[in-house]
Chain A
């Protein structure tokens, strides 16, 4: 396909995507052998604890993939294989699950996530402009990935964004640079605009 940018690892080889098998030397329909698959101990313990919570272990697929993504940075073929090994599911099955959900990444992603809500309420109040500004501000920073995301459930602080899970808003275009700066500093992001400190607007909801 012309104009299609093939994603590659730093060392040059192609990143497996939807059009390629995870690893052609391994059969994605075979459950990895636990004798030869190395799984980090913390990951194994986490997945096993998750599986124990449900009547059927398969229910732990999403929590397990979350854990693997946290450890590996993304749902890499290696991460998928480790989860498959512990859960006794096929890698193919887990890839099918991982590709369904927006928060599970089957391609390498930057360490920091900035999800900018561009759904209807936010875009009425200028989210599209903020998104442009955020993309521009993060252009130089390989550690920050900016995505336009669908309604994050915080239209009261529109336009808003979720920075590594922390909801901030209402945002103005100048905040984009501040978000990048705060991320680099490693501290709280836009503390004055964090949703968690926001009080209810309902006049009848005043505390006793």
Chain B
């Protein structure tokens, strides 16, 4: 279980400087890669079957192979926007080992024949951006970036771009628009960025963790890397665990270990006397799981089979001292604030969900509101340019489904608090089970 690739010795003082990174064998993988042909490097990435660590879990090698060949301007963009609530793994990687990311970018760009690269880092990560900027300058000076890297025919420029605070810019096409200096509105797909991305050119977009893994794949050999984890989810994954656990933080795990081992074994579980009520397995956009699902193996396919997703690998644990209503409200409010407003289902759906949840709290709701709210979530999913709306609809929808009884209790309790009267006066007993909604109030 204890396999450490990305996090091995991550706390070594000065690892953010080139000298220490090189002393630990840094940039050796780049030399190895540059001695191979581009096709062979790409072949290694394909063999490793590494899946993107940002959220969608798409195979990185396949994504590269979608890029058209030829000498046109192609771009690599490293997505360091990391704004999914609960996710903070890239922050630790960039802060402590920025050269690992740079090395990964150079190797990936070599495999894809890319000459210009960008790191889009969220504006809030000021300290990490300063570290990266210094590291990029060092890498230029040492000849790991720039023209004809280490005497090869591969040239690459790397620019660090700071965002300015917008969740939507973590979505790949929103990020591209933002990088082009526009409002970060997502674009219609297809065409996918691999065909038409930044400045209309073919663009490879990958997460910090994915790119940071690339040097290790080259170093270990893809076949050996693929042996870690499960057959369809290879390698190790950084898991950010937070919320009601005793030891929150980033842990590196081999994909496929039981989720209980992460939540209870590594993070210590909820405080004594409390138990897990619900947990988000992959950031706040993932449909929630309950304490009955703690034994689901933590990998892409097992979680998909359980009706949720691995997403960015951020586990948020909520214990039984919290109300699900508050959790749903926080979620909905966040997504309503961050919706860019381009697509109606998302813009309206997120706002109405917030209002309906407020209605429950105010004691004005009936169980029928839950049905309406669930139908609103269904209308959002799959109907927008990007998945921001889905990112609210999936967890809120799953909360309504899995915690309906508790939400109905909240509705009843709030009605009594507000003095509006018990539901018995509103719903005829005969149809109360069918949630047919209130009769006209006289």
Contacts and interface: CB of A to CB of B under 8 A. Distances in A.
Contacts of B83: 150-151, 153
Interface string B59-99: 00000000000000100000000111111101110011000
Contact of B123 (A56, A59, A101, A124): A101
B135 interface: no
Contacts of A166: 126-127
Interface in A137-158: 149-156, 158
Interface in A35-68: 53-56, 58-63, 65-66
B184 A100 contact: yes
B73 A102 contact: no
A15 interface: no
A101 B165 contact: yes
Interface stretch (B290-298, B329-337, B416-424): B329-337
Interface residues of A, number: 51
Interface in B155-200: 159, 161-167, 178-184, 199
Given A153-B83, A155-B240, A165-B127, A102 B4 contact: no
Given A59-B181, A200-B10, A156 B164 contact: no
A12 B206 CA distance: 49
B250 A202 contact: yes
A65 B162 CA distance: 11
Given A101-B163, A151-B84, A201-B251, 19 more contacts: A54-B159, A59-B181, A60-B181, A62-B181, A100-B166, A100-B183, A103-B123, A119-B330, A120-B85, A120-B331, A124-B243, A150-B85, A153-B125, A155-B87, A155-B248, A156-B248, A162-B124, A165-B124, A201-B248
Contact of B247 (A118, A121, A153, A201): A201
A103 B165 contact: yes
Contacts of A205: 4, 7-11, 252
Contacts of B164: 62, 65-66, 101-104
Contacts, number: 183
Interface string A187-208: 0000000011001111011111
Given A65-B164, A103-B165, A201-B247, A120 B123 contact: no
Given A66-B162, A202-B7, A206-B9, A155 B243 contact: yes
B7 A204 contact: yes
Interface in B301-335: 314, 316, 318, 322, 326-327, 330-331, 334
Q: Which among A103, A121, A206 has the greatest number of chain B C-beta atoms within 10 A?
A: A121
